Amino acid sequence: MPDAKSDAERFMTKAIALARDNVLGGGRPFGAVLVMDGEIVSTGVNQVMATKDPTAHAELVAVRAAAMKLGRATLAGATVYASGHPCPMCLAAMRLAGITDIAYAYSNEDGAPHGLTSAALYADLRKPLAEQAMQFVYQPVRPDGEDIYEIWSARQRRQTPDA
């Protein structure tokens, strides 16, 4: 049976190699490897510059690829190895997908001198919503009295067989 530490090092080395190759190809220095049951399910590199998609971070590219490959949105039991400290968007997406194990090689502090840190965003998100850089406004508009949540719940009840 392979040594767990050597597997973790191998997966992290792969994430860093992806990041390095992405830089050499004109991208940002971020790579990610998504692993389940000791096997690589998917990989990703930061594609923000290439696609002009601000959500195309390495971790999200890997999560999307794994979900498509496995045919499901839940990736519980997966581990993500990321070259850099995942940003809040990536952490939230991984959490929504059920991923609870994340390892990274470069911290926000490592990236700060190079402008590669999400520390300020993390700091802003720790504030109450009213104090954050974004403005949040609750607008309870219900056209024609429709409640889309109620419509969804009713459909779910019809699709769920009685126990």
Active site residue 59: yes
Task: Look at residue 5 and tell me whether its pLDDT is greater than 90.
Answer: no
Catalytic option among 9, 39, 59, 109: 59
DSSP one-letter code for 115? T
Task: Look at residue 52 and tell me whether its pLDDT is greater than 90.
Answer: yes
How far is it, in rounded angstroms, from Cα 50 to Cα 159? 41
pTM of the entire structure? 0.88
Domain assignments of the chain as residue spans, ordered by start: 7-128
pLDDT band of 1, cuts 50, 70, 90? very low
Residue-wise pLDDT tens digits, 110-149: 999 999 999 999 999 999 999 999 998 889 888 888 899 9
DSSP one-letter code for 86? P
45 phi and psi angles, rounded to 5 deg: -130, 160
How far is it, in rounded angstroms, from Cα 101 to Cα 58? 16
Mean pLDDT of 36-53: 97
CATH superfamily of 7-128: Cytidine Deaminase, domain 2 (3.40.140.10)
Average pLDDT of the chain to the nearest whole number = 94
pLDDT band of 4, cuts 50, 70, 90? low
Task: Look at residue 2 and tell me whether its pLDDT is greater than 60.
Answer: no
